[in-house]
């Protein structure tokens, strides 16, 4: 690496540093995008790794309490020092990151660009553990890598890297653990957001520039499922690739929520969407509803889902659909950050059942909406307790946190929403399930041929159990509509 970069660092330009003749244009477009993902840095100490000539150092220094910029190339570091050394809150260190050492809990944010792809698996595992230890509890790590794709231009020279898929990076960062608190409780990373860098998609048709924002959290609070994170639990259990295929076959092409295209059309029509409006879909699944909204109403849609399996399918289909107005992220809605007034509509289908603190989430939704913005949610609910033992076991196995439709509505009111409508749609739920079940039974041979007999039986038995839970009164289904008050109200 030293020999490679010595040849390319004598002229410390952004083009040489990024190994790309379009570096200036890319930097200009990606800067706002990347900085918008970071938490508020007002009182934060930041460690910037692979800082290069300082294209992000200058931005971080104006936002954070202190920035320690590290790079192993003296020419790059000197250029950074020349540009940013006048800041009193800057420290510059020339070092190989694999040999760095800082006290535990020294930083609130660790920021890096194109660093981990230069580390072997052994080096990367060790370095991730160091990063976790250097972060304070609740601290964040941001990194961006070239995944399964060489960065830069061929004419700028070969860029030797350890190429990994985005899924491999996600698994590695989600699996690392360190002793994190005074009582010896382990800490790990939780994915806040993972997304394509849109500047590279638009300018270079390269969807393989991926960034992650991670949060350091106590591991025992992440999951009690046996998996490192709740996200891993979803992708290996309910939303495995095989599970998604089953759901889509039952709900309809593009859909993984109750009623598929029929309920999507019914509920979306309640919103009276207008061209150019910005919609946030929380729990977007494989994107069917988002493509429908964009095609039918001309809105811009950002779909979030915690399942990487779901989002990977959605991203691939977005390419086929040729809809640049629809984007997708692997993201945790309870940790994702957006400025106030970012969206005109927030839409969610059968997703929030996974989230324990619904009031806190609804307060976030309220903040993210423009004045007059609309919220529409369908979700699994429950009847009044006591529940049957069967339903208790079902809820525990799925990790659901359920409330009655009226309790759900009260959370929305408490979060600040007005014109709240909380409707018990269980009768419609039962009707839809019966229709889907009948369709599966009528097309049994097709189901088995396309999937398998095991998949067919799993679907049919699952839908019959759903009917039983709903008809007993334990499981309910709610539709919720609310608005954020206009400034003049």
Report pLDDT digits (tens) over 99-119. 999 999 999 999 998 888 888
**Residues near 186 by Cβ (< 8 Å), separated by ≥ 6?**
177, 178, 179, 180, 218, 219, 220
Residue 432 has which token pair? 């839809």
Report the alpha-carbon angle 70-74-77, nearest 5.
45
Closest CA to 350 of 461, 214, 191, 239: 239
> Does the pLDDT of residue 398 top 90, yes or no?
no
Give the model's pLDDT for residue 15.
58
* 42: Cα separation from own chain's centroid: 24
Count CB atoms within 10 A of the CB of residue 485.
Answer: 14
d(CA 231, CA 173): 12
Give the model's pLDDT for residue 489.
53
* Per-residue confidence band for 421, with pLDDT thresholds at 50, 70 and 90: very high
pTM (global) more than 0.85: yes
Give the model's pLDDT for residue 322.
87
d(CA 282, CA 304): 5
* Per-residue confidence band for 184, with pLDDT thresholds at 50, 70 and 90: low
Residue 258 has which token pair? 């109750």
Q: If residue 46 lies in a helix (H) or strand (E), which one and from where to where? A: strand 45-49
Asked if 419 and 374 count as a contact pair (C-beta separation under 8 A), the reply is no
> What is the mean pLDDT of the segment spanning 363-374?
97
> CA quadruple 153, 143, 169, 239: dihedral positive or negative?
negative
| Mean pLDDT, the chain, whole residue set | 89
Tens digit of pLDDT for each residue in 253-271? 999 999 999 999 999 999 9
DSSP class of 380: E
> Does the pLDDT of residue 222 top 80, yes or no?
no
Give the model's pLDDT for residue 221.
47
**H helices within 105-222, ranges in order?**
121-134, 166-175, 198-204, 219-222
d(CA 170, CA 312): 13
d(CA 397, CA 402): 13
d(CA 382, CA 477): 7
> Does the pLDDT of residue 195 top 80, yes or no?
yes
Closest CA to 70 of 89, 109, 88, 96: 96
Buried b / exposed e across 115-126, counting CB within 10 Å, b at 16+? bbbbbeeeebee
* Per-residue confidence band for 11, with pLDDT thresholds at 50, 70 and 90: low
Rounded to 5 degrees, what are φ and ψ at 342? -85, -20
d(CA 471, CA 469): 6
> What is the mean pLDDT of the segment spanning 461-474?
95
d(CA 23, CA 29): 10
For the domain bounded by 2-222, which CATH number is listed?
Answer: 3.40.50.150
Residue ranges, comma separated, of all CATH 3.40.50.150 domains in the chain are 2-222, 232-483
Tens digit of pLDDT for each residue in 300-358? 999 999 999 999 999 999 988 888 899 999 999 999 999 999 999 999 999 999 999 99
Give the model's pLDDT for residue 159.
55
**Residues near 13 by Cβ (< 8 Å), separated by ≥ 6?**
23, 53
- What are the angstrom distances between the C-alpha of 483 and each of 58, 72, 224? 40, 52, 35
d(CA 24, CA 441): 58
> Does the pLDDT of residue 10 top 60, yes or no?
no
Return the CATH number of 232-483, one of 3.30.460.30, 1.10.3720.10, 3.40.50.150, 3.10.105.10. Answer: 3.40.50.150
Q: Where would I find the beta strands (DSSP E) of 271-409?
A: 278-282, 300-305, 326-331, 343-349, 369-382
Cis omega (within 30 of 0) on the bond before 386? yes
Asked if 89 and 61 count as a contact pair (C-beta separation under 8 A), the reply is yes
Give the model's pLDDT for residue 186.
85
Q: If residue 144 lies in a helix (H) or strand (E), which one and from where to where? A: strand 135-146
44 burial (CB, 10 Å; 0-12 / 13-18 / 19+) is buried
């Amino acid at each position: 690496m030293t020999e490679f970069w010595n040849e390319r660092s004598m002229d410390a330009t952004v083009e040489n540093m990024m190994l790309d003749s379009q570096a200036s244009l890319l930097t200009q477009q990606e800067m706002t995008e990347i900085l918008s993902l970071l938490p508020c840095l007002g009182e934060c100490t930041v460690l910037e790794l692979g800082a290069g000539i300082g294209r992000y150092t200058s931005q971080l220094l104006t936002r954070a309490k202190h920035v320690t910029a590290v790079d192993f190339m003296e020419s790059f570091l000197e250029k950074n020092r020349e540009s940013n050394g006048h800041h009193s809150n800057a420290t510059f260190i020339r070092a190989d990151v694999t040999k760095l050492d800082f006290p535990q809990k020294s930083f609130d944010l660790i920021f890096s660009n194109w660093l981990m792809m230069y580390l072997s698996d052994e080096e990367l595992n060790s370095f991730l553990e160091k990063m976790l230890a250097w972060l304070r509890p609740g601290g964040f790590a941001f990194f961006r890598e070239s995944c399964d794709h060489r960065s830069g231009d061929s004419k700028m020279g070969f860029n030797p890297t350890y190429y990994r898929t985005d899924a491999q990076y996600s698994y590695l960062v989600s699996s690392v653990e360190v002793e994190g608190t005074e009582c010896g409780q382990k800490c790990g990373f939780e994915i806040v957001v993972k997304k394509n860098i849109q500047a590279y998609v638009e300018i270079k048709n390269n969807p393989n520039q991926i960034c992650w924002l991670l949060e350091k959290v106590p591991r025992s609070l992440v999951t009690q499922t046996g998996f490192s994170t709740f996200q891993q639990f979803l992708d290996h259990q309910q939303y495995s690739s095989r599970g998604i295929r089953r759901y889509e076959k039952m709900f309809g092409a593009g859909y993984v929520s109750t009623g598929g295209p029929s309920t999507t059309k019914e509920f979306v029509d309640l919103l009276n969407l207008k061209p150019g409006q910005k919609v946030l879909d929380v729990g977007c699944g494989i994107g069917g509803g988002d493509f429908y909204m964009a095609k039918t109403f001309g809105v811009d849609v950002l779909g979030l889902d915690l399942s990487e399996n779901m989002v990977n399918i959605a991203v691939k289909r977005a390419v086929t659909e040729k809809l640049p107005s629809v984007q997708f992220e692997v993201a945790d809605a309870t940790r994702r950050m957006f400025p106030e007034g970012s969206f005109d509509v927030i839409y969610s289908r059968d997703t929030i059942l996974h989230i324990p603190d619904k009031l806190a989430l609804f307060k976030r939704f309220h903040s993210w909406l423009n004045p007059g913005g609309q919220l529409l949610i369908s979700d699994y609910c429950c009847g009044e307790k006591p529940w049957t033992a069967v339903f208790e076991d079902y809820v525990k196995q799925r990790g659901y946190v359920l409330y009655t439709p009226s309790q759900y509505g009260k959370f929305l009111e408490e979060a600040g929403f007005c014109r709240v409508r909380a409707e018990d749609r269980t009768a419609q739920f039962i009707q839809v399930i019966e229709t889907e079940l009948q369709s599966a039974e009528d097309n049994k041979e097709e189901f088995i041929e396309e999937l398998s007999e095991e998949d067919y039986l799993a679907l049919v038995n699952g839908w019959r159990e759903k009917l039983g839970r709903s008809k007993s009164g334990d499981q309910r289904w709610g539709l919720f509509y609310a608005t954020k008050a206009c400034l003049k109200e």
